[in-house]
Each structure stands twice: as C-alpha cells, then as structure tokens.
Structure 1
Amino acid sequence: MNDTLDDYQEKRDFTGTPEPSGAAKKASPPHALQFCIQKHDASHLHYDFRLELQGTLKSWAVPKGPSLDPQVKRLAVQVEDHPLDYAAFEGHIPEGHYGAGDVIVWDRGVWKPVGDPVESFKKGRLQFELEGHKLQGSWSLVRSQQEGKKQLWFLIKHQDDAARAESDFDVLTQRPESVISGRILKPRPAKHTPGKA
C-alpha cells in the first residue's frame, strides 16, 4: 500500500463510501501523467485539482475553481494525496462520511511538467501544460510562503492561446457539466432555520 495515501485512507470508511480505497497496487508501464478536476458539493462547493505524480494524485482544493484569465490567481489548498483510480470517481459520498456530498469529474486529461516535477513540487513552484477537455495550455502552481496548518498554493494560468479574460468567458459557468456523464451538479438547497423566512 502506498504510504502517501495513509491520510486519505484514515479519513474514510470504505464499507460506507463508494470512493476507491487505493488498496489495489498495480504495476503500470510508463504512461502519460493524468490530471483531473472534480467539482465537489461538500460542506462548501469547490473544485479538487489533482495531478498524477509518484504513483498518487497530488491534490488541491480550489474554492473558486480554475480561471482561464492570467490576471486571476486562484487559491489552492493542498490536501491529502488520493489514489490514481480516484480520477474517474463520480457519485454521492453519503452523509456522515468525510467529504459527504456529490462529486462529478468536471475536467480531465493529461499534464506535461516543465522541468523535473518532483523537484519542482518540493520547491513549491510547479509549471506544466494541461491537455484537457476544458483546460489547456500553460499553468503554474506556486506555494505561498504563508505559514499555517495547510499548505496554501496559487493556481495561475499563463498567457497563451488558451488564455481568456474572465469578462469574456468564464469556463466555470459556460462549461458546468461532467466530462464523463454530462451531469451538472445542482446546488443543494439552503438549510431552513426555524423562525426565519
């Protein structure tokens, strides 16, 4: 079992959640590195950005989702590594389980690191190209120097042919669907507080 998945596995009860456990370890020949972005309607709606590296999916929660606008830096909070088969996971995580809520695969494809990705990740400055259904071109993940319980990064689009000003095209609102099922996440209704209209 992959030690970097310990946090992932400790947070979940796989007898009650449909998420993959990552327990099956498969030797795989060299292949293109996959990425995925899952839209996750948990306690807060957010996007989980995942890059395959060293046998797991390095993962960041991006509260506002990616932007194609190079002027817009998106906060990306590093979370626990996920197993590679999580990249195809869509479904409902039941109430009472970690991350309860609906998940769709909002985008996926392959990514190409610029330079040595392991060293770049350690140094906190990953530059890469995405070839996805919705996201393409050159991007960076840059770790913030701010100290805290979680590692804070920024997801930044570079200026290239795939860049778009957010005022011209917001990929999140224009392309809300899953690239696997075509499903669109409907926001959960707000909880009604007794005595309030």
Structure 2
Amino acid sequence: MSLVKYKSKRNFSETTEPEAGKSVQGKHVFVVQRHHATQLHYDFRLEIDGVLKSWAIPKGPSLNPGDKRLAMQVEDHPYDYKDFQGTIPQGNYGAGTVYIWDKGTFELIHPGNKTFDKEALQEIKDGDLKVILKGRKLKGEFALVHMKGRGENAWLLIKHKDKYATDEYNSEDYTPQRVKDAGIRYKAAEKKVAAKGGKH
C-alpha cells in the first residue's frame, strides 16, 4: 500500500515519526495512540497488508456496546508507527503529544477463504470490518462500520456484546495523569509561542 500521502504531510528532518517499517509475517498488530494535537483524539490502527490502516476517534474507543464512536479514516501509516510515542514538534502536521494507550494483536471474526490481508481489505471495501482485539485494555469483538451518506471517511467503531463488554466506559479514565498533564503543558507552551509568532 502507498505511504505517499503520509510522507507528503511530514518533515522527517524535524519529526521523529517513522518513515517505513516491515510487518512480521503471521502476526497482525493493532495500536491505539492517544494524540493530544489541536483536538484531543485517539488514533486506532490495524496492521493490514503491511501498513497500519488508521482511524481517528475523537471520543476514544469504548467497551460499551451502546457507544457508537465516530471514527474518521485517515491516511495509511507505516508499520513502525506502532511503536511511536513522544512529541511531534510545533509547525509539523499533527503537532502535539502521542502516547501508546493500548497495543496488541487482532484477528478477523470471519476469516473467510482468502488470505488475511485480502479478506480484511475486502471487508473495508464493503464498509463492514469485524475484528477480535487482544490488547491490554481493548479485548473482544469490535466492528468498524462505514457510515453511508456521510462521506467516504466516516465510520463507526462499535463494541460487540461479549464477556468484555461493559455498561460505561471513558478512555480518559484509563490514561495516566502524567500523560494528560504532558499534553496540557505542551498545548499551553504552543499557544505562548504562537502568540509571539515563533516556533519551539
């Protein structure tokens, strides 16, 4: 899959975000990164066909089946992005703090007769991707469903009713306070620098 769009948005002489990376055969990883940028959101990434298919979730993922979380599909990210956390400098795309909120492996609920990647890509094309997450925080069955009539990038992330489901869930409750504080400090410093018309 092409990473042209991803690379075109970034200046790798300034940001430590990875440029590439090769997936490990037989393993399919997922990662959720809490991204305190202009707007706080969570980036949900699934390794498919050698890259990380990515969705930005404004309210964060939930284990409550009643929470249908908006998930906006964004450009593919390189495989090595699964390990990235830290600070994206001011003036760069996505400037802010990134924290690996959860990570693990995933499977398809319906493997089908095709290879893993082909089946997953077909489900995405059909607008209905169903996976089993095996993370530290996110566990069990989830569905990514495309929202018809809302544009090609608008999806919903929905938890299935299983033994891991819960009645209430807030991603921020499972984020360390030090991570929250770091994001707040960064944004405050960014505002001060922006007011002076300079850069960090």
Structure 1 or 2: larger helix share? 2
Q: Distance in 2 between matches of 1:147 and 1:46?
A: 20
Q: Tell me if 1:144 matches 2:147.
A: yes
Q: Distance in 1 between matches of 2:55 and 2:24?
A: 26
In structure 2, do the counterparts of structure 1 residues 99 and 29 end up closer, same or farther at CA, with 3 Å as the change threshold? closer
| Runs (5+) with no aligned partner, structure 1 | none
Match in the other structure for 2:62: 67
In structure 2, do the counterparts of structure 1 residues 106 and 29 end up closer, same or farther at CA, with 3 Å as the change threshold? closer
Q: Distance in 2 between matches of 1:10 and 1:59?
A: 16
**Paired residues of 1:19 and 1:89 also in contact (CA < 8 A):** yes
The secondary structure found in structure 2 opposite 1:99 is coil
The secondary structure found in structure 1 opposite 2:130 is strand
Task: Report the AA paired with residue 6 of structure 2.
Answer: Y
Match in the other structure for 1:34: 29
Matches within 5 A, 1:84-163: 84-115=79-110, 116-148=119-151, 151-163=153-165
**Paired residues of 2:129 and 2:144 also in contact (CA < 8 A):** yes
In structure 2, do the counterparts of structure 1 residues 32 and 96 end up closer, same or farther at CA, with 3 Å as the change threshold? same
Task: Report the AA paired with residue 65 of structure 2.
Answer: P
The secondary structure found in structure 2 opposite 1:121 is helix
Q: Tell me if 1:184 matches 2:184.
A: no
Cα deviation for residue 137 of structure 1 reads 0.3
Task: Report the AA paired with residue 61 of structure 1.
Answer: A
Cα deviation for residue 46 of structure 1 reads 0.3
**Paired residues of 2:60 and 2:170 also in contact (CA < 8 A):** no
Match in the other structure for 2:173: 174
| Runs (5+) with no aligned partner, structure 2 | 111-118, 196-200
Quote the sequence identity (%): 46
Question: Match for 1:56 among 34, 51, 54?
Answer: 51
Task: Report the AA paired with residue 135 of structure 1.
Answer: L
**Paired residues of 2:55 and 2:74 also in contact (CA < 8 A):** yes
Q: Distance in 1 between matches of 2:133 and 2:70?
A: 18
Cα deviation for residue 102 of structure 1 reads 0.4
The secondary structure found in structure 2 opposite 1:31 is coil
Q: Deviations over 1:142-165 (max 9, x none)?
A: 0011243x5100000000000001
Match in the other structure for 1:5: 3
**Paired residues of 1:138 and 1:157 also in contact (CA < 8 A):** yes
The secondary structure found in structure 1 opposite 2:105 is strand
TM-score, length basis structure 1? 0.85
The secondary structure found in structure 1 opposite 2:82 is helix
Q: Distance in 2 between matches of 1:74 and 1:158?
A: 13
Task: Report the AA paired with residue 14 of structure 1.
Answer: F
Q: How many residues align?
A: 180
Q: Distance in 1 between matches of 2:62 and 2:99?
A: 18
**Paired residues of 2:29 and 2:106 also in contact (CA < 8 A):** yes
